[in-house]
Structure 1
Amino acid sequence: MTPNPPDASPEPWTFSANGVLEALTWAQAVDALQSTLADGFDPETDPDRHSIDAAGGHMLLMPSSTGQRLGVKVLTVRNGPDATDSLPTIQGAYVLFDGDSMAPLAFLDGAALTKVRTAATSALAIRHLADRPLPRLAVFGTGAQAHGHASALHATAGVEHVDVVARDSAKGEAFVRQLRSEGIPASLATPAAVSAADIIACTSSAGAPLFSGDAVKDHALVLAIGSHTPTTRDIDSTLVSRGSVVVESRHSAQREAGAVLIPQSENLLYVRDLPTLSDIVQGRYAVSAGTGPRIFVGTGMAWQDLSIAGAVFAEAQKQMPGFTSPEYLQPGPTTNASRDTARYRIERSPLGFHSDRDTFASPATAHLGQARRAGEGEWVAVDNYGRPVATIWSPYLGRPNTFRCDPLPHARYVDAVEADDFSVVLDYALNNFSTAL
C-alpha cells in the first residue's frame, strides 16, 4: 500500500520553517539578493508595505514582482505577548507565483523567510561597504533576527566573535549558549561593547537609540534594521552626523525609516540625497575612505522576500524533485539507517501548511494519525487532531547536501530498500515522534 502519487498537474510545493532555513547557505542567499539588483531590478518601484490593524496586533501585506516571479508575504505581528506565552510574536506565510502562467509555485513559512532575507540583506550591504576585516560583532537582541545576523555574518563577513547585548540577561545567556553550540564564539555584553565592535547589528525593536553614537569606532559598520516606523529608531542623530548612510531605497526610507527621518527633521541630512543598496551593488556609488562609520538603514522590503523565495524554490527543484511514481517505495523492514544510506529522513515537524488533499493511513497506527502530502517529496505525519507530528522527506538517497543543517537533533533516517512499504515508515514516525524523544 503506497501513498497517492502527485497529480498530473503541478501542485505548489510547501516549505516549512526548517525547509526555508535549510534550503540555502548564507552565501547563496546573499548571492540571490545581489543577482536581483545586478540584473537591474529597481527597489524604488517595489510596492509599499500595507498594514491592517486587528485586536491582537496587526497584519502586514508585502507583494512584489520581478516579471518572471511574483509573490506576496502575509505576516501577523502580535502586540506585546506575555513572557510565558508560547506563541511566536511573528507568524505568517509567503506565496510564490510563476510570472508567465500566474500559477502558484510554492508556499513558504513567512517568519523563517523574513529571518533569512533580513540577515542576508545586511550581509549584502556589508559585502559592498566593508573596506577591512570586521571580526567583532555586537548584536542587540536575542530573537530570530539576532540569531540570523550572528549566523549570516559569521558565515559570510568573517565575524570571529559575537557580543550579545540583551535587556533580559537570562535570554542573553541562553542565546550565547546557543551560538556557542553552533560553533560561533560569543559572550554576554553591555551596550559599552559598541566601542570595541567592528559591526553593530541593531535587531531589537526597542524603538529608541540603543547606544551613544560617540562610542562607535570610525571604521565600524552599523546595521540599523530594528525599527520600521517614521517615529522610532535604533541609532541616534550623533552617529548619523558622523557617518555615511546607505538606505534600502529612498522611497521606503521616506515612508518608514525613523533612523533617517528624525535626523532629516533636524536638518542633518536629506533622504532624497542618500545612496541606496542598489547604488552600491550596481557600482553607482562608493563610500569614500575616512568618512566615519558606515551605516546601513533597512526596514525590510518585499523584493527581498521574493528573491529568497525564488532561490529556495529553485534550489529545491535541483536537489529534491520529489515523488515520480509509487514504485519508488521499496519493500523491506524499517531500520534506523545511517544518514549516508537512508532514503527517508523523519524529523519533528514545525507548524505549517499541511494539505489534506492526499492522505494515507496505516491500519497499525490509524488510531494515532495519518500522513498528508505537504509538497513535492514531503509528507507530514499528523495526529488525529490534525496537528503535525513529523515530516517525512523522500527521496533522500544521493542528496547529502539537501539537509545542510544535519545532523539535526532527533532526526531519524530510514532505509527504503528495507522498508515493508510506506505504512511502515509512517508507523515509525507516529510511534517515535508523537512524544518527546
Structure 2
Amino acid sequence: MHTVMLDSDDVDENARMPEVVRAVEEAFAAYERGDATMPPKSYIDLPQYNGDFRSMPAYLDTGEWDAAGLKWVNVHPDNPVDHDLPTVMGTMIYSDPETAFPLAVIDGTELTMKRTGAAAAVATDHLAVEDATSLGIVGAGVQSYTQLEAISAVRPIEEVVVSDVISQHVRRFEETFGEEFDVREGSVSEAGQCDVCSTVTPVEEPIVDLEDVGEHTHINAMGADAAGKHELTDDLLLEATIVIDDHEQCTHSGEINVPYSEGTLTDADIDAEIGELAVGTHEGRTDETGVTVFDSTGLAIQDVAAAHVVYERAVEAEAGTQLDMIGRKG
C-alpha cells in the first residue's frame, strides 16, 4: 500500500465542487449528531513573523463513510509582499481510521479554499432566498474564487459584484469569471445589496454596515479567523439571524468574537449552528426571515470531508505521486 501525494493541481482537478459541498454538509451533520471528534484548533503564535500555525485534527463518520485527518496550516499576512508566498498554506494528512495508514498527503492550501467555499455554499443553500441570482463579494483575494465556484453550485448566480480596495484584484477576478458570469466592480454597499454576499477580508474594523445590505441578503462572513478580526458592524449582527459553525471557535476567533467578548452580543443573539440546519432540527430561511449571517471559522471536519472527496476521485483517476511512506519490508 502506498501513500498518494496530491499537489494543488491534483486537488483542483479532483475536488468536484458539488461533491465537496455535499460532503461538507454531511460533516456538519455528523458533528451535530455526535458522530465526529474534533479537538479544539490549537495555535502557535509567531508575532515576530506576523503569523501563526494552526493544528486541526478530526475524525467523522457520516454513516456511509468515515475518515480522519490532520491539517497543519499557517496564516502569514506578509508572505505575498515579502516572500512571494501565499498568506495561507497548509498540508493535509489523510488517514485510514481503521489502520491509521496515511492514505494521502494533500496540498492543504487549495483544499482549504475548496472546503471554505463549500461551507459558504451549505449555509447559502439553507439561508439564502431560493431564487438568488446575484452574489456580492467583498475582498477579491484567493478565497473569493471558490466562494463563487461553490455558491453558484447551489444557486443560479448570474450577476457578481466585487468590491476590493485593490482594483487589480478585481480585474483578475473579472478575467477569470467574466465569460461565465456578469461580473462588475462595485462598492461595498453595492456588493451588500446582492441576494448573497460573501465577505473575505482580514479587517479588524468593520466595513459592512446594516444600511449596506438588502432586506433579505444572506451574508457569508468568512474573513474573521482570529481574535480581533471583525468585518460586519455590531448593528448589522444584532439585526441579523446568526448561524455559526462552532460556538467555541466563533466566540474566540469568528466574526462575532469582538462583540461577544465585549458583551454587546450574547448567546441569545445566536440563532443556530450550521449542523442544526444540516440535520433539520432547526429551520433555515422562512418567509419572515430578514438578513442572515453565517459566521464561518473553518472546521477540521470540513478539511477531512473535502480530503475524502479529493482522495477518492484521485484514486479513481490514478492521479498524484505514490510514495512508500511506511517502507515495509518482506
TM-score bucket of the superposed structures, by smaller chain: 0.7 to 0.9
Which runs of 5 or more residues in structure 2 are unaligned?
A: 324-330
User: Which residue is 2:139 aligned to?
Assistant: 141
Closer, same or farther in 2 for the Cα pair 1:267/1:211, shift >3 Å?
closer
Aligned pair count reads 315
Closer, same or farther in 2 for the Cα pair 1:219/1:15, shift >3 Å?
same
SS at match of 1:274: strand
User: Which residue is 1:375 aligned to?
Assistant: 322
Residue 89 of structure 1 deviates from its aligned partner by: 1.6
Are residue 257 (structure 1) and residue 247 (structure 2) matched? no
1:111 to 109, 112, 133: 109
What aligned pairs does 1:333-352 form with structure 2 within 5 A after superposition?
A: none
The residue type equivalent to 1:29 in the other structure is V
Are residue 23 (structure 1) and residue 21 (structure 2) matched? no
Aligned equivalents of 2:71, 2:109: Cα separation in 1:
10
- Assess if the C-alpha contact under 8 Å between 2:129 and 2:195 holds in 1: no
Aligned equivalents of 1:47, 1:225: Cα separation in 2:
21
- Assess if the C-alpha contact under 8 Å between 1:204 and 1:226 holds in 2: yes
Residue 164 of structure 1 deviates from its aligned partner by: 0.9
Closer, same or farther in 2 for the Cα pair 1:271/1:101, shift >3 Å?
farther
User: Which residue is 1:392 aligned to?
Assistant: none
Aligned equivalents of 2:262, 2:271: Cα separation in 1:
15
User: Which residue is 1:33 aligned to?
Assistant: 24
Aligned equivalents of 1:33, 1:261: Cα separation in 2:
27
RMSD after superposition: 2.3
Are residue 120 (structure 1) and residue 114 (structure 2) matched? no
Structure having the higher Rg? 1
User: Which residue is 1:130 aligned to?
Assistant: 128
With 247-256 and 276-285 compared, the bigger mean Cα shift is at 247-256
Are residue 187 (structure 1) and residue 181 (structure 2) matched? no
2:299 to 298, 301, 304: 301
- Assess if the C-alpha contact under 8 Å between 2:221 and 2:293 holds in 1: yes
User: Which residue is 2:222 aligned to?
Assistant: 225
Residue 84 of structure 1 deviates from its aligned partner by: 6.9
Closer, same or farther in 2 for the Cα pair 1:144/1:271, shift >3 Å?
farther
Query: 1:320-371: per-residue Cα shift (whole Å, max 9, x none)?
Result: 247xxxxxxxxxxxxxxxxxxxxxxxxxxxxxxxxxxxxxxxxxxxxxxxxx
% identity of equivalent residues = 21
Closer, same or farther in 2 for the Cα pair 1:35/1:180, shift >3 Å?
same
- Assess if the C-alpha contact under 8 Å between 2:232 and 2:255 holds in 1: no
User: Which residue is 1:12 aligned to?
Assistant: 3
SS at match of 1:275: strand
Aligned equivalents of 2:29, 2:203: Cα separation in 1:
34
- Assess if the C-alpha contact under 8 Å between 2:29 and 2:276 holds in 1: no
Aligned equivalents of 1:252, 1:43: Cα separation in 2:
19
SS at match of 1:93: strand
Closer, same or farther in 2 for the Cα pair 1:43/1:252, shift >3 Å?
farther
Query: 1:223-243: per-residue Cα shift (whole Å, max 9, x none)?
Result: 111012232211111111221
- Assess if the C-alpha contact under 8 Å between 1:236 and 1:259 holds in 2: no
Are residue 47 (structure 1) and residue 39 (structure 2) matched? yes
Are residue 64 (structure 1) and residue 75 (structure 2) matched? no
Query: 1:386-429: per-residue Cα shift (whole Å, max 9, x none)?
Result: xxxxxxxxxxxxxxxxxxxxxxxxxxxxxxxxxxxxxxxxxxxx
TM-score, normalised on structure 1? 0.67
What aligned pairs does 1:319-358 form with structure 2 within 5 A after superposition?
A: 319-321=316-318
Aligned equivalents of 1:26, 1:81: Cα separation in 2:
28
Residue 192 of structure 1 deviates from its aligned partner by: 2.3
Residue 25 of structure 1 deviates from its aligned partner by: 2.2
Aligned equivalents of 1:245, 1:132: Cα separation in 2:
18
TM-score, normalised on structure 2? 0.88
User: Going by fraction, where is helix more abundant, 1 or 2?
Assistant: 2
Which runs of 5 or more residues in structure 1 are unaligned?
A: 1-9, 323-372, 377-437
Query: 1:43-62: per-residue Cα shift (whole Å, max 9, x none)?
Result: 99521111113443221111
Closer, same or farther in 2 for the Cα pair 1:164/1:84, shift >3 Å?
farther
Are residue 177 (structure 1) and residue 175 (structure 2) matched? yes
SS at match of 2:178: helix
Residue 42 of structure 1 deviates from its aligned partner by: 3.9
Query: 1:235-265: per-residue Cα shift (whole Å, max 9, x none)?
Result: 1111112210000022222222242551563
User: Which residue is 2:149 aligned to?
Assistant: 151
Residue 289 of structure 1 deviates from its aligned partner by: 2.8
